[in-house]
Amino acid sequence: MSFRTPFYGQMFARERFETLYSTRLHVGAPDAEGKNKTEPFNMLITQFNVALHRTNMSQWMRIEMVLGFKGRFAPKQYYAAKPKKHIKSFGLVDSSTGYVCNILTYFGANTSYDP
């Protein structure tokens, strides 16, 4: 069973992905005032959702994704059964291809989905 997804390699080179990943994924300081601390993260997720949205997919599946995270981020969670602290996300996935089509990140009890 291969977990390789050649789609991403065809979209852009590894260096381009690493550049985008390192420059766009950041979270505001814990003591930031005047704006939502998760705004940069939400902008990134919105861009992913727009880019990955496909209307011709036939079978959908909701999955829970656990992303390991070492930085400072208030909604970060810890479970004794998991090896690291993490951010919990939910994804809408096409079950035939395995492509993630929509992502909702869990920010605590106030998390809601507004399509």
The residue-averaged pLDDT of 83-104 equals 74
**Which DSSP state fits 55?**
S
Task: Say what the pLDDT of residue 60 is.
Answer: 76
Q: What is the pLDDT of residues 59-92, one digit of tens each?
A: 777 777 777 766 666 655 556 666 566 777 778 8
The model's pTM:
0.46
Site of tokens 């969670």: 77
Nearest by Cα to 44 from 63, 24, 59: 24
Phi, psi for residue 2 in degrees, rounded to 5: -105, 135
Task: Say what the pLDDT of residue 52 is.
Answer: 66
* pLDDT score of 14 more than 60: yes
* pLDDT score of 18 more than 70: yes
Task: Say what the pLDDT of residue 12 is.
Answer: 76
The residue-averaged pLDDT of 47-65 equals 71
DSSP-derived 3-state class of residue 44: helix
Cβ neighbour number for residue 2 with a 10 Å cutoff: 5
